[in-house]
Amino acid sequence: MRSLLAGFTTRGTSFLAAGFAAAVAGLALGERDLVSVGALLFVLPLLSALAAGRARYRLSCVRQVSPARVPAGHTTRVTVRLENVSRLPTGLLLAEDAIPYALGTRPRYVLDGVERGGIRELSYPLRSDLRGKFAIGPLDVRIADTFGLVELGRSFATTTTLVVTPRVVPLARTMIGATWVGEGDGRARAAVAAGEDDVVPRAYRDGDELRRVHWRSTARYGELMVRREEQRWRNRAVLLLDTRRSAHAGSGVASSFEFAVSAAASIGVHVGRAGMDGQLITDAGAVTAAGMFEDVLLDSLAVVKTSRGVDLSGGLAAIRASGGGLLIVVAGRLSAVTARQLATSRRDGGPAIALLLAVSTWSAPGGRAEDPAAQPGPGRELDGTGQPDHAGEQPGGQRRAANDAASRTAAHAETSQATAILSAAGWRVITVDAGMPLATAWRRVAGTDIASRPATVSDMPGAAV
């Protein structure tokens, strides 16, 4: 019985009940006028349901999200175009567009009615501080008749995808824009110094193409010589993002992992717009997808999550198979063994830079590493004035604080060791703490003003060691 009355409002149900009762009473009393009134009351809701039913199946819905890809923290606008393609005008319309909970409350609209062939546009903004891919829709429409007797619902099947990418920080144009890409003055000087006809050959290897054989050098050296491949690092970048859960700390948007994702997105967009081809690699391996590098990069990083991996073996294998290029690494906590493996993964002597995150600064309150020397030692508790409080000693809390301080100290020493290993292998390395802007870190590690030695947290004014 409830299913039969599902489309009727309280008023419509009352009309049906009153009409039925009046008709039965009229028949019992022999009052034809009462029967007529009861029949009218009973039929009116049915006719309203028929009219509303015809209108609800003749509506079309088109949704547009502009822009469809937006960085986290920015606003996009959703426009829903609702058209009545039936021959009859609709009654009162109640429209509600379904959106994920993370994007806010569902927008609701009340429309007095849409005339035959009429169009209504519903528009609302969306903003998300969380990256990801979100399905917008479907649109739910409830149609009410003029008398308020019937309210029928319809849900359109179409949805639209909104891609919220990591925050992209504008980076200064550094030596990547000239020397590393092989453009501008750096490229001109190289062409003048070498000349277009100068060739540096090498010995023939199995698999080399015969069209690359340099016959003049072959006659000179008495063995088959081929032209060297041009340095691919001038127009190619390989970006490795460390997604290991064990290599990061913190939670939510303030975690070191989210900073690493934003850094990878910013650097990838920067080198892509500098005219370089790129490839994204994680600790699980290369990210393979069709499309432009910037599009693939942002779409992949919008949904990337931490992995359960314990090393970078998959990513290092992908680097070796990539064919060389400018190598850029954004890594969390690195052990000495992993740092040595990473240092030897570079091919062809191309440039390599690394942003190592001082993960311990993300685990400390306020995003700063605590000074181990300032931690209360055994038998000491700090009161509200910062002085030892012997009255409120809590051995369990002291042990936890001491363990946390020891862990942060060990993590800092491990990061310093990894920095030294990569620096000794010719990498440009910078250690980034939670308080250092990405633009500053990039300028110091990739800019022409950086010294040959690695820039670490100790080089930054006011940075915690």
* Side chain identity, residue 260: A
**Residue 358, in any domain of the structure:** yes
Same domain, 117 and 216: no
Q: What is the pTM of this model?
A: 0.70
Q: In degrees rounded to 5, what are phi and psi of residue 444? A: -80, -30
**Residue 363, in any domain of the structure:** yes
Q: In degrees rounded to 5, what are phi and psi of residue 236? A: -140, 140
The range of the structural domain enclosing residue 292 comes to 235-459
Closest by CA to 167, choosing from 287, 244, 40, 73, is: 73
Predicted local distance difference test score (pLDDT) of residue 229:
55
Structure tokens at 324: 């060389």
**Residue 174, in any domain of the structure:** no
Same domain, 289 and 327: yes
Closest by CA to 140, choosing from 118, 114, 158, 160, is: 158
CA distances from 193 to 137, 151, 351 (A): 61, 81, 21
Same domain, 127 and 244: no
Same domain, 304 and 374: yes
CB 422 within 8 A of CB 454: yes
Give the number of domains in the chain: 4
Q: In degrees rounded to 5, what are phi and psi of residue 237? A: -130, 140
CB 358 within 8 A of CB 429: no
Predicted local distance difference test score (pLDDT) of residue 4:
54
Same domain, 328 and 449: yes
Cβ neighbours around 151 below 10 Å, total: 22
CB 336 within 8 A of CB 415: no
Same domain, 139 and 40: no
Predicted local distance difference test score (pLDDT) of residue 315:
93
Predicted local distance difference test score (pLDDT) of residue 228:
62
Rg of the chain over all Cα atoms, to the nearest angstrom: 34
Termini Cα distance of the chain: 73
Q: What is the C-alpha separation between 86 and 50, in angstroms, rounded?
A: 14
Predicted local distance difference test score (pLDDT) of residue 212:
79
Structure tokens at 362: 């993300």
SS3 1: coil
Same domain, 74 and 155: yes
Contacts (Cβ under 8 Å, ≥6 apart) of 214: 199, 201, 225, 226, 227
**Residue 368, in any domain of the structure:** yes
Q: What is the C-alpha separation between 183 and 87, in angstroms, rounded?
A: 64
Predicted local distance difference test score (pLDDT) of residue 241:
97
Predicted local distance difference test score (pLDDT) of residue 193:
38
Q: What is the C-alpha separation between 246 and 331, in angstroms, rounded?
A: 11
**Residue 14, in any domain of the structure:** yes
Q: What is the C-alpha separation between 124 and 144, in angstroms, rounded?
A: 23
CA distances from 154 to 122, 220, 300, 360 (A): 17, 82, 34, 52
Contacts (Cβ under 8 Å, ≥6 apart) of 224: 203, 204, 213, 218
Element (H, E) at 161: strand 160-165
The pLDDT profile of the chain, 465 residues, written as one tens digit per residue, is 445 566 788 888 888 899 999 999 989 988 888 999 999 999 988 888 877 666 556 788 999 999 999 999 999 999 999 998 888 777 778 899 999 988 989 999 988 888 888 999 999 999 999 999 999 999 998 877 777 788 777 889 899 999 999 999 999 877 554 444 444 444 433 333 333 334 567 777 766 677 778 888 888 888 888 876 544 445 789 999 999 999 999 888 899 999 999 999 999 999 988 888 899 999 999 998 888 899 999 999 999 999 999 999 999 999 988 877 889 999 999 999 999 999 988 766 678 999 999 998 887 554 444 333 334 443 334 343 344 444 444 555 666 555 555 555 666 788 889 999 999 998 999 999 999 999 999 988 876 443 333 333 333 333 222
Same domain, 98 and 192: no
Same domain, 113 and 91: yes
Q: In degrees rounded to 5, what are phi and psi of residue 154? A: -145, 140
